[in-house]
Amino acid sequence: MGLAILAAAGGLAACSSSEGQGSANASQAAGGGPYTIWDPYPQFDKSSEWVKLLEDCGAQAGVRVERTGYDTSDLTNKALLAAQQGNSPDVLIVDNPVVSTLAEAGVLTTTEENKLDVSAVAPNLLAAGQSGGKTYGVPIGANTLALYYNKDVLDEAGVKPGDIKDWASLTAALEKVKTAGKKGITFSAIGTEEGSFQFLPWFWGSGANLTKLDSPEGVAAVALWTDWLKKGYAPNSVINNTQTTSWQEFASGEYAFAENGTWQLANAKKTGFPYGIIPIPGKDGGTAPAPTGGEFVSIPVQADTGRYATSQKLVTCLTATETSLTTTTTLSYIAPTEAVQAKQVAANAELRVWVDAVKAAKGRTSDDLGTKYPKISEPMWGAVQAALSGSKSPQEAMTAAQAAAASATR
């Protein structure tokens, strides 16, 4: 399963198929009739484990659920339109950066209003669903980024993945790989939110902050990628690569490293070569904060407040500890609570690196950025494109990006 990205920022579509076109019914009596759930998983049909889980939660709450799976890029617009028309779904599952957009538009209720317990959720994951000091949903799970590596390529180059601790040691490893006649690292730097998503671990890992794109730290992150291209450690194709096409490059067996996400684990097993995974290193060591992907389960505002009690039961069921292991396995996510993360690692030790990466991760709209984030992200990905293409130096590119972001967020 792929990564859901904020549509307003030029997002990544999930899948093209759709299951059902049911909608909320504004005329339903208080607490009666079917309960509508909208989600961004159109790839799951009625026979899937996901839909069975929704139906089971409905049965536990004593109601029938009507579920519609929308493409991620459509769901935000449909949710805003439904709110304007007064027929929002009872439960809405949306990509985490969208939460602040819907919250500021008055579409969502808070967890406090509907007594949703978020006390066990990791604070860094919960922050992605917070705006103005209030929380607008419960994370259903999270994914993030790390570095996959091809063990055969590293062995041939004499590189030990455990020795890669910071930017300097990673760059030294790429130099050895190139000297050995192999290809270095592939990633996605495309001019969309996908490119920003992949750049953020390096930006944050430098110590930079999104409110100051042209800081020395921010410029250093762009310079790192730019230098890799100049020295042939990364291919020029990264400028147009999506996360899917960069993965395809890695899957060819020619590259030492690929920056990609939890959702590629199943594909990694199909590559035919031995692989491993390490965290993305920070500039001076440690695990770089990577952005969180994943959705929040929220309760939209209803004119008929009598429906909230049952909606609360549905959300609680979908996010409960006893349900979470099934949910996160089905959606290829890391659980949002430590208790379930421990169960995931016990069942599959390979997930340890992803659990650690998620613990170090942060939401794109965190730091109280909210709806300012896409207005910063777009100039940032434009700066990365300008630097990688050689049309501007890293400093020039980030100076221009900061000016654009400052103007857009005034």
Point out the least confidently predicted range of 145-149, 173-177, 316-320, 368-372. 368-372
State how far Cα 229 lies from the chain centre. Answer: 26
Instruction: Tell me the whole-structure pTM to 2 decimals.
Output: 0.87
Mean pLDDT over 373-386 rounds to 97
Mean pLDDT over 215-224 rounds to 98
- Domain assignment present for 2: no
Is residue 333 domain-shared with residue 374, that is, in the same domain?
no
β-pairing verdict for 275-278 and 183-186: unpaired
Higher pLDDT, 106 or 28: 106
pLDDT in tens, 243-268: 999 999 999 999 999 999 999 999 99
Is residue 352 domain-shared with residue 209, that is, in the same domain?
no
Cβ contact 188:243 at 8 Å: yes
Is residue 130 domain-shared with residue 61, that is, in the same domain?
yes
Spatial distance between the Cα atoms of 141 and 334, rounded to a whole number of angstroms: 6
1, 312, 313, 316 from 58: Cα distances, Å: 24, 11, 9, 11
- Which of 169, 395, 167 lies closest to 288 in space, CA to CA? 167
pLDDT in tens, 183-214: 999 999 999 999 999 999 999 999 999 999 99
- Which of 109, 62, 68 lies closest to 313 in space, CA to CA? 62
Quote the mean pLDDT of the chain: 91
Among the candidates 343, 360, 377, a domain finishes at 360
Q: Which residues contact 332 (CB under 8 A, 6 or more apart)?
A: 1, 143, 262, 263, 265, 266
Long-range contacts of 236-241 (CB under 8 A, 24+ apart): 236/388, 237/186, 238/186, 238/187, 238/188, 238/189, 238/388, 239/189, 239/190, 239/385, 239/388, 239/389, 240/190, 241/186, 241/187, 241/188, 241/189, 241/190
Among the candidates 336, 360, 384, a domain finishes at 360
Domain range for 116 is: 7-143+292-360
Higher pLDDT, 23 or 203: 203
Is residue 177 domain-shared with residue 240, that is, in the same domain?
yes
Is residue 254 domain-shared with residue 173, that is, in the same domain?
yes
- Percentage of residues of the chain with pLDDT beyond 90: 88
* pLDDT value of residue 11: 32
Whether residue 319 has pLDDT greater than 80: yes
**Encoded tokens for 119:** 């006390």
Cβ contact 190:9 at 8 Å: no
- Which of 369, 10, 392, 9 lies closest to 214 in space, CA to CA? 392
Higher pLDDT, 334 or 18: 334
Is residue 272 domain-shared with residue 356, that is, in the same domain?
no
Is residue 275 domain-shared with residue 197, that is, in the same domain?
yes
- Domain assignment present for 257: yes
Spatial distance between the Cα atoms of 259 and 363, rounded to a whole number of angstroms: 18
Is residue 242 domain-shared with residue 346, that is, in the same domain?
no
Mean pLDDT over 24-34 rounds to 51
- Domain assignment present for 347: yes
Is residue 59 domain-shared with residue 157, that is, in the same domain?
no
Spatial distance between the Cα atoms of 185 and 197, rounded to a whole number of angstroms: 17
Whether residue 8 has pLDDT greater than 50: no
Give 73's pLDDT tier (boundaries 50, 70, 90): confident
Mean pLDDT over 311-317 rounds to 97
Give burial (CB, 10 Å; 0-12/13-18/19+) of 17.
exposed
31, 111, 158, 342 from 310: Cα distances, Å: 7, 14, 59, 30
Whether residue 133 has pLDDT greater than 80: yes
Whether residue 28 has pLDDT greater than 60: no
Mean pLDDT over 87-94 rounds to 97
Coil, helix or strand at residue 135: strand
| Number of domains into which the chain is organized | 2
Is residue 46 domain-shared with residue 194, that is, in the same domain?
no
Higher pLDDT, 270 or 31: 270
Point out the least confidently predicted range of 10-24, 270-284, 335-349. 10-24
Is residue 374 domain-shared with residue 276, that is, in the same domain?
yes
Amino acid at 332: S
Whether residue 379 has pLDDT greater than 80: yes
Spatial distance between the Cα atoms of 40 and 43, rounded to a whole number of angstroms: 9
Higher pLDDT, 4 or 259: 259
- Domain assignment present for 1: no
- CATH of residue 63: 3.40.190.10
Helices (H) and strands (E) in the chain, counts: 16, 11
Whether residue 353 has pLDDT greater than 60: yes
Is residue 276 domain-shared with residue 395, that is, in the same domain?
yes
The DSSP symbol for 256 reads E
Mean pLDDT over 325-342 rounds to 93
Mean pLDDT over 341-358 rounds to 94
In the chain the first and final C-alpha atoms are separated, in Å, by 37
- Domain assignment present for 312: yes
Whether residue 96 has pLDDT greater than 60: yes
- Percentage of residues of the chain with pLDDT beyond 70: 92
Whether residue 385 has pLDDT greater than 50: yes
- Domain assignment present for 71: yes
Cβ contact 410:376 at 8 Å: no
- Domain assignment present for 97: yes
- Domain assignment present for 326: yes
* pLDDT value of residue 368: 86
* pLDDT value of residue 55: 97
